[in-house]
Structure 1
Amino acid sequence: MTHSGLSPDWNALADRSLAGELLSREQALAVLQAADTELLAQLAAAYRVRHHYWGNRVRLHFLLNAQSGLCPEDCNYCAQSKISAADIEKYPLLAQEKILAAAARADQLKAGTFCFVISGRSPSESVFQRVLAAVRTVKAQYPLKVCACLGLLDQRQTQQLAEAGVDRVNHNLNTSEKFHSHICTTHTFGDRISTLKAVQSAGITTCSGGILGMGESDEDVIDLALSLRQLNVTSVPVNFLIPITGTPLANQNQLDPRRCLRILCLYRFLLPTQEIRIAGGREVHLRSLQPLGLYPANSIFIGDYLTTPGQAAHRDLEMIEDAGFVLETADGSPLTPVPEAMPQLTTSIPT
């Protein structure tokens, strides 16, 4: 819900963010609760911060669900959890040739990062060793950064991931510490913090964000961003809940495109130097306003998500080009012009 009272000077908030100063809680709430008539001014101010650190470049990430379902956790949002009755494909860790096929697709689509995800609380030793082998092979064959999302990890595991060449590890906080128990009871918020700290101590950069629209309050939205700021994570995926039939949150519906854009603006103000990625739910909730999300955010997934389909790759590339942005290569430099062959590529992985 928005208010129609006196709004703050959004450019003053951008100035504060660029100076490295933290917005007050009152200012953060004002971003989330602003009237719809303020949205374009908010986006323009957030873009000032985004452009200062990221220019007009957009990073592409490609996501592979390398092991699906069969998870013992009870995360209420997830189609793969033990309490989910969602109709999804379930399979053990993919064979290495299928993982390599997905990496080849990521490279064709000019994604800078190949995101390798497995379901479960924490990988078994046999699965973990196969993951390490796959990472080494991908890194040897393609100029991709590899981001691994493997569940809860300890110091020994993160050190081995670093040695194998993993560039980044994803482990989302998902929501605020206060709201966490409403979403999951089989592990704690502290367990997630411990994994991120183990990743950082191994010298690997951290990717951590959340899922918005799960019933959390504005205060929870702010608290999640502040936790990510305190942890100094490198990359922040902002997911918008897709209510999946068969999950406890199937009937949750508190998002619209304008709410999503205000959240992205707030996260840019609170996390000025971080890569902010519009992740799951982009197509469902931003809909026709997707291009506006690139003004606060500087990264998107291209292709599908874990258990839900994404927008066709050629439409993502057209959106980026039409809005005047340029792709960024794995080393961070602009990729221009967009290769003509790219719109004809699909994101399906050969079976």
Structure 2
Amino acid sequence: MATDLSPSTETAPVRSSNRFDDWADRVLSGGELTRDEARQILESDDDEILRLVDAASRIRKKHFGKTVQLYFLMNAKSGLCPEDCHYCSQSKISDAEIPKYNILKRDKLMDAARIAAEQGAKTYCLVISARGPNEREMKAVEEIVPVIKEQYGLDICACLGLLSREQADRLKACGVDRVNHNLNTGEEYYGKICTTHTYADRVETLRHVKNAGMEMCSGGIIGMGETIDDVISMAFDLKDLGVQSIPLNFLNAIDGTPLQGNDDLSPQDCLRALAMFRFVNPDRELRIAGGRELHLRSLQSLGLYIANSVFVGDYLTTKGQAPEEDYQLIRDLGFDVTTKVGE
């Protein structure tokens, strides 16, 4: 019996709509996600993950196409911090076995900048552990930033702790492009993870950064025992502050910290959180930060359909995966690394 291979005149089936697609359509048209819808994303079933990622990826594609930006972290001063942030291996209450040293000399900071450039990073993140920078640390940053920018053409993100208005102005004057200062969690939960400074202190620093004319980089950590409402609150606060770059960390519960043993995140939890932040902050740079290798594991590629940025190499006191693995992941997705400053 012959088989008829002629084209069918029937109309191809139309993909059925779902709530995530409807919300994406609204966001893509300039609308906003509600807090109740954000909650529904975080409470969605694992069986809905692929539909959620697909909807979020449509938003990512509109604003960032197929580009991925790489960040390189330099722990310029390790440990010795007087704050009691419960998640941090460098805090005064941590017993974690980590290197402890004052701000590094110029040659080591320059060598790290060279590595950042060689690894395809667009942004070099200069980080110190401190409540805030002292005068010696401020001068070290002011001296090194112009040299790094001239020699390697990297964007500079400084993470120096709490800043005064005058310190923010000085960072702008020396060429710092953006300052990282994470909110870390929602305002109501903040007192449970830190008592030596407040959520309001962090918001004030971000306002100083904005008023100085630099970009704000601020995100948080998922998996510290917070509620869904705390995560939603953080996402909307970042939106209201107008933060340009949002790193989303997944708790790496380091032994010796008060949060050691907290390890209840699944890859699906991480994807839900990333998607919710993308919906709430559609045109903001969203970065998969610390803990991605530990918690997303084999689903890291799905994360990059939502986020448009990752750290390459190691983190502050924990190891990341080999840069070659990140490059391969990006190539396999058909994405392009953005390296040109200003893109």
TM-score range, shorter chain: over 0.9
Q: Which residue of 1 aligns with 2:182?
A: 172
Structure 1 residues 280-338: Cα deviation after superposition (integer angstroms, max 9, x where no partner):
001000001111100110000000000000010000000000111111113355xxxxx
Q: Cα distance, 1:254 vs. partner?
A: 2.3
Q: Which residue of 1 aligns with 2:5?
A: none
Work out whether 1:99 is the aligned partner of 2:109: yes
Equivalent in 213, 229, 232 of residue 223 of structure 2: 213
Equivalent in 137, 145, 152 of residue 142 of structure 1: 152
Work out whether 1:157 is the aligned partner of 2:157: no
Matches within 5 A, 1:189-204: 189-204=199-214
Q: Which residue of 1 aligns with 2:238?
A: 228
Q: How far apart, in 2, do the equivalents of 1:332 and 1:140 lie?
A: 15
Work out whether 1:296 is the aligned partner of 2:306: yes
Q: Which residue of 2 aligns with 1:342?
A: none
Equivalent in 260, 268, 274 of residue 258 of structure 1: 268
SS at match of 1:58: strand
Equivalent in 61, 64, 88 of residue 74 of structure 2: 64
Tell me if structure 2 keeps the 8 A contact 1:85–1:246: yes
Q: How far apart, in 1, do the equivalents of 2:31 and 2:159 lie?
A: 31
Q: Which residue of 1 aligns with 2:137?
A: 127
Tell me the TM-score normalised to structure 1 length: 0.92
Q: Which runs of 5+ in 1 are unaligned?
A: 1-6, 334-351
Equivalent in 49, 52, 62 of residue 39 of structure 1: 49
Which amino acid is the alignment partner of residue 169 of structure 2?
A: Q
Q: Which runs of 5+ in 2 are unaligned?
A: 1-16
Q: How far apart, in 2, do the equivalents of 1:30 and 1:148 lie?
A: 35
Structure 1 residues 255-299: Cα deviation after superposition (integer angstroms, max 9, x where no partner):
010100010010000000100000000100000111110011000
Q: Which residue of 1 aligns with 2:12?
A: none
SS at match of 1:69: coil
**Over 2 Å off, 4+ runs:** 19-22, 330-333
Q: How far apart, in 1, do the equivalents of 2:227 and 2:187 lie?
A: 12
Q: How far apart, in 2, do the equivalents of 1:21 and 1:224 lie?
A: 19
Equivalent in 182, 194, 201 of residue 184 of structure 1: 194
SS at match of 1:148: strand
Q: Cα distance, 1:136 vs. partner?
A: 1.7
Question: Which structure has the larger Rg over C-alpha atoms?
Answer: 2
Structure 1 residues 171-213: Cα deviation after superposition (integer angstroms, max 9, x where no partner):
0000000000000000000000000000000000000000110
Which amino acid is the alignment partner of residue 84 of structure 1?
A: S
Q: How far apart, in 2, do the equivalents of 1:325 and 1:230 lie?
A: 30
Q: Which residue of 2 aligns with 1:282?
A: 292
Work out whether 1:52 is the aligned partner of 2:67: no
SS at match of 1:297: coil
Which amino acid is the alignment partner of residue 308 of structure 1?
A: T
Percent of pairs with identical residues: 52
Tell me if structure 2 keeps the 8 A contact 1:174–1:210: yes
Q: Cα distance, 1:25 vs. partner?
A: 2.0
Q: Which residue of 2 aligns with 1:108?
A: 118
Q: Which residue of 2 aligns with 1:90?
A: 100
CA RMSD of aligned residues (A): 1.1
Q: Cα distance, 1:8 vs. partner?
A: 5.6
Structure 1 residues 71-118: Cα deviation after superposition (integer angstroms, max 9, x where no partner):
000000000000000000111100000000000000001100000000
Which amino acid is the alignment partner of residue 66 of structure 1?
A: A
Q: How far apart, in 1, do the equivalents of 2:102 and 2:283 lie?
A: 37
Q: How far apart, in 1, do the equivalents of 2:122 and 2:297 lie?
A: 24
Q: Cα distance, 1:140 vs. partner?
A: 1.8
Q: 1:20 to 1:212 in 2, by over 3 A?
A: same
